[in-house]
Amino acid sequence: MAVGKSVPMLDSVARVTGTVPYPSNLKLPDMLVGKIFRSRVPHARVIKLDVSAAERLPGVVAIVTAADFAGDDKPNLHFGSPIQDQPIVAGDRIRYIGEPLALIAAESAAVADQAMDLIELEYEELSAVFDAEQAMLPGSPILHEAFPDNIVRHSKLRRGDIEAGFAAADEIVEEVFSSPMAQQASLETHVAAARWKEGKLTLWTGSQSPYTVRRVLSAIFDLDLENVRVIVPPLGGGFGGKGNVRIQPMAAALAWKVGNRPVKLVMTRAEEFVTVTKHAAKIMMKSGVKFDGTFTAREVSIYWNGGAYASSSAHLVPAGMLRAIGPYRIPAVHVDSYGIYTNLPIAAAYRGAMSSQGVFAHESHMDTIAHLLGIDPLELRTKNLLRTDDLFATGERLHDIHFVECLEAAAYGLGWHEPLQSDNGTIKKRGRGLAVMMKNTIANSYSECRIELDAEGLVTLFISTVEMGQGGHTALAQIAAEALGVPIEALRVRGPDTAETPPDAQTASSRSTHMMGGAVLDGAASLRQQLAEAAAPILEWSPDDLSVADGYVFVTTQPQARIPYAEVLGRNNIDALTATGKYSTNEGKLDPDTGQGISTPDWHQGAGACEVEVDTQTGKVTVLRYHSASFAGRVVNPTLAGLQNDGNVIFGMGASLLEEVAIDGGQITNPNLSDYMLPSFLDTPVELKNVSLEEEGSSFQGIGEMTLPPVAPAIANAIYDAVGARIRDLPLTAEKVLRGIQGRTDHER
């Protein structure tokens, strides 16, 4: 059985010998270098953009500006999925610092850089707005005239009698939490190379969404879908930042203008920070509780800073609404989730997307309530956590719910009830904290695969699942190998390449193992049926009397009467058997006024518990021990699953303790990995453990993010436990902790 084994990643040798063909390595014959001339002001009306001197520079092949899109026979300047508000290059209006204004294709990077200096831009600056709440106020600068209040999306949830709920409460607790803009910071930056040939566009790119890229590019250039081909090599990390459509339209537009030569765009590290970011969020959370810890009502308002264009915010804002409520039994819930335009770079998914901000809020809030009521934080949670058959705030009945098991696995792993090694009286104090999360999956979604079995018994899996380090190709090959009864060594994986691999919505939101895994199981079942039908005349039994397993077709009642797959094909003169597998979900249609309905086919579930040490003289926080748990249903590959769980915790520690994109007047002031720090070996807890919970008869559940969102609140709760300081603003820097400790001391005096 291939499933359940720690099979090394299929291309492990390439990974340790440096030969993975990342998009950044791509070299095509006659390829030109693409560079981007960007805005240096956050909001302005463009008066004149003159690229003529730059165009005349020897070695410059083409320059694209908005003028190239004027005219009915030209490509569309604007794109976006689903709201088409984003220009490929800014036309008469600049909306953030770093916005592309002109694209240069040149023989070398040095020439392109020289050309940049020859571009002349005249503009009239407009007043700008960077804070999301401020942008909603009347009189604020308007980014898009069609959205006069700067609200790109407002999602609502209304359940129960909220006023009666608060009236029935013994205590009402109200808090405000905030998370800053952050950057996904995959070590490989965004890359896109484009080539036009005979009216057809081919794109090589580091993207998590090849089929979205194809659809959006076909709309920009008014091409039939089959005339746009998107090829995605393995990525040097994605983390949500490479989802949707990012730099691909620019590469395609440059190659379109050049005509007969390919152009490659590679973002610098600094450009990454203006390409995509994580939504800064402010969350107001108000809960009514009884003295015994029973909840009566919860009201949540969320302000997501979406940046200058809608991009992914349009569908992430409703998802973020559901993810901020918390997995608890609360009879009355009201939520308002606002996505807001500001003069900042676009915000989109960042691993643990639209969960981390909300989970930090509701799980910090739970501890505030626990301490107020004098109830143990684990006990308050387990008393209120949702169980199977409970109703969620959307009114949907829950199934396969394991919040209590996840939280207890993390808490008991840490030793929640064991005495803490106390350092009272010394400078360093220890504390413990825990947190739990729930996340809807992407509903109303589709995955398809093709499986080919050849006459030598080799199996090729054609999938558009992107391999970005998560081991998706290996896990899906394991699922196929088990379903077909062949060893993993017989498996090959191809894709994504929209010319040969079938459609898949995207590789995001921890959906691939479940969704594409479901498609693989469907395809394998169809292939087994074809094998039975092809073997039936040879074995002289009806296909219904045959079984297909372990590399053989055999008579169910006489297993010794059997033929290997290769022989089934050989004796029928078949080169290959091919099957298509599909998996789709159609939930996710909530009532727009009440948020009621079925939001998701499955719930993602995870938890974490940690022990920290706080230096009371400096405020420095060290996470000594961290235990995480996620609900996996059925684990495909224990090593890869462990890497997801641990990797989430480490990624989450970055957002918890280190990461904040600093902005001054719309200008990002730390767009480099020195001032924007990522977690290193020395930030990793000395004791870091994880568990993937399984259940008999369960399906493959996504685990790509579940242990991430609990990290920040678990640490914040542990800091409170250690020194009594409640930090409600991420990241949990030493400065804030120290201020918290001092504030508390002043208050006690």
- Closer CB to other proteins, 7 or 361, in the complex: 7
The CB-side HSE value for 114 (13 A sphere, CA atoms) comes to: 13
- Closer CB to other proteins, 269 or 428, in the complex: 269
Report the distance separating Cα 114 and Cα 108, nearest Å: 10
Q: Which of 23, 234, 633, 709 binds other proteins (CB under 8 A)?
A: 234
The nearest distance, CB 293 to other proteins, in angstroms, is: 35
Q: Which of 5, 24, 395, 622 binds other proteins (CB under 8 A)?
A: 24
- Closer CB to other proteins, 23 or 345, in the complex: 23
380 phi, psi to nearest 5 deg:
-60, -40
With CB under 8 A as the contact rule, which of the stretches 91-99, 438-446, 656-664, 681-689 interacts with other proteins? 681-689
Report the distance separating Cα 673 and Cα 199, nearest Å: 41
- Closer CB to other proteins, 681 or 696, in the complex: 681
Closest CA to 40 of 114, 145, 119: 119
Q: Which of 100, 237, 377, 666 binds other proteins (CB under 8 A)?
A: 237
- Closer CB to other proteins, 218 or 684, in the complex: 684
- In the chain, the amino acid numbered 458 is L
The CB-side HSE value for 207 (13 A sphere, CA atoms) comes to: 28
Q: Which of 151, 314, 373, 688 binds other proteins (CB under 8 A)?
A: 688
- Closer CB to other proteins, 79 or 651, in the complex: 651
Q: Which of 137, 167, 176, 187 binds other proteins (CB under 8 A)?
A: 187
Q: Is 56 helix (H, G, I), strand (E, B) or coil?
A: helix
DSSP 8-class letter at 266: E
- Closer CB to other proteins, 171 or 675, in the complex: 675
With CB under 8 A as the contact rule, which of the stretches 12-20, 77-85, 478-486, 662-670 interacts with other proteins? 12-20
Pick out residues in 648-677 that bind other proteins (CB under 8 A): 648-651, 672-674
The nearest distance, CB 475 to other proteins, in angstroms, is: 12
- Closer CB to other proteins, 283 or 715, in the complex: 715
- Closer CB to other proteins, 187 or 391, in the complex: 187
Can residue 643 be called a binding residue for other proteins (CB under 8 A)?
yes
- Closer CB to other proteins, 205 or 600, in the complex: 205
Report the distance separating Cα 432 and Cα 378, nearest Å: 11
Among positive and negative, which fits the CA dihedral 271, 120, 258, 199?
Answer: positive
Contacts of 437 (CB under 8 A, 6+ apart): 323, 327, 355, 359, 363, 604, 605, 606, 607, 706, 709, 710
Q: Which of 1, 18, 139, 389 binds other proteins (CB under 8 A)?
A: 18
With CB under 8 A as the contact rule, which of the stretches 16-24, 283-291, 395-403, 523-531 interacts with other proteins? 16-24
- Closer CB to other proteins, 42 or 654, in the complex: 654
- Residue in the structure block whose two tokens are 């095509």: 28
Contacts of 385 (CB under 8 A, 6+ apart): 327, 328, 329, 403, 404, 407, 436
Contacts of 66 (CB under 8 A, 6+ apart): 49, 77, 87, 89, 90, 91, 92
Can residue 640 be called a binding residue for other proteins (CB under 8 A)?
yes
Q: Interhelix angle for 377-384 vs 356-373, to 10°?
A: 110
With CB under 8 A as the contact rule, which of the stretches 184-192, 292-300, 342-350, 394-402 interacts with other proteins? 184-192
Can residue 646 be called a binding residue for other proteins (CB under 8 A)?
yes
With CB under 8 A as the contact rule, which of the stretches 220-228, 544-552, 596-604, 647-655 interacts with other proteins? 647-655
- Closer CB to other proteins, 14 or 47, in the complex: 14
Closest CA to 372 of 730, 726, 732, 9: 726
Q: Which of 268, 301, 578, 733 binds other proteins (CB under 8 A)?
A: 268
Closest CA to 690 of 661, 716, 711: 711
The nearest distance, CB 471 to other proteins, in angstroms, is: 7
Pick out residues in 415-474 that bind other proteins (CB under 8 A): 468-471
The CB-side HSE value for 383 (13 A sphere, CA atoms) comes to: 15
The nearest distance, CB 612 to other proteins, in angstroms, is: 18
Task: Print the binding letters for residues 188-207 with other proteins: x by CB under 8 A, - otherwise.
Answer: xx------------------
Q: What does 554-600 look like in DSSP terms, one character per residue?
A: EETTEEEEEEEHHHHHHHTT-SEEEEEEEEE-------TTT--S---
719's enclosing H/E stretch is helix 711-723
- Residue in the structure block whose two tokens are 């081991």: 471
Pick out residues in 330-389 that bind other proteins (CB under 8 A): none
- Residues 578/452, Cβ–Cβ less than 8 Å: yes
524's enclosing H/E stretch is helix 512-539
With CB under 8 A as the contact rule, which of the stretches 180-188, 190-198, 424-432, 596-604 interacts with other proteins? 180-188
Cβ neighbours, 10 Å, residue 76: 15
- Residues 540/500, Cβ–Cβ less than 8 Å: no
Q: Which of 4, 5, 22, 116 binds other proteins (CB under 8 A)?
A: 22
Contacts of 166 (CB under 8 A, 6+ apart): 172, 286, 288, 296, 297, 299
Q: The sheet that has 200-205: what strands, in order across it?
A: 60-64, 100-106, 32-38, 263-266, 191-197, 200-205, 228-231
Q: Which of 138, 421, 544, 681 binds other proteins (CB under 8 A)?
A: 681
- Closer CB to other proteins, 327 or 608, in the complex: 608
Can residue 185 be called a binding residue for other proteins (CB under 8 A)?
yes
Q: Which of 20, 67, 536, 561 binds other proteins (CB under 8 A)?
A: 20
- Closer CB to other proteins, 11 or 694, in the complex: 11
With CB under 8 A as the contact rule, which of the stretches 78-86, 292-300, 516-524, 644-652 interacts with other proteins? 644-652
With CB under 8 A as the contact rule, which of the stretches 403-411, 525-533, 643-651, 658-666 interacts with other proteins? 643-651
Q: Are strands 86-87 and 93-94 parallel, antiparallel or unpaired?
A: unpaired
The nearest distance, CB 208 to other proteins, in angstroms, is: 12
**Size of the residue set binding other proteins (CB under 8 A):** 52
Q: Extract the tokens encoding 435.
A: 């947190």
Q: Which of 25, 388, 542, 556 binds other proteins (CB under 8 A)?
A: 25
Report the distance separating Cα 426 and Cα 720, nearest Å: 17
The separation between the first and the last C-alpha atoms of the chain, rounded to the nearest angstrom, is: 66
- Closer CB to other proteins, 367 or 659, in the complex: 659
Task: Print the binding letters for residues 516-545 with other proteins: x by CB under 8 A, - otherwise.
Answer: ------------------------------
The nearest distance, CB 153 to other proteins, in angstroms, is: 29
The nearest distance, CB 81 to other proteins, in angstroms, is: 25
Task: Print the binding letters for residues 610-639 with other proteins: x by CB under 8 A, - otherwise.
Answer: -----------------------------x
Report the distance separating Cα 464 and Cα 632, nearest Å: 22
- Paired with 333 in beta bridges are 159, 298
The nearest distance, CB 623 to other proteins, in angstroms, is: 13
Can residue 2 be called a binding residue for other proteins (CB under 8 A)?
no
- Residues 625/685, Cβ–Cβ less than 8 Å: yes
- Closer CB to other proteins, 32 or 332, in the complex: 32
Q: Which residues bind other proteins (CB under 8 A)?
A: 6, 8-9, 12-20, 22, 24-25, 185-189, 234-237, 239, 268-269, 468-471, 639-640, 642-643, 646-651, 672-674, 678-682, 684, 686, 688
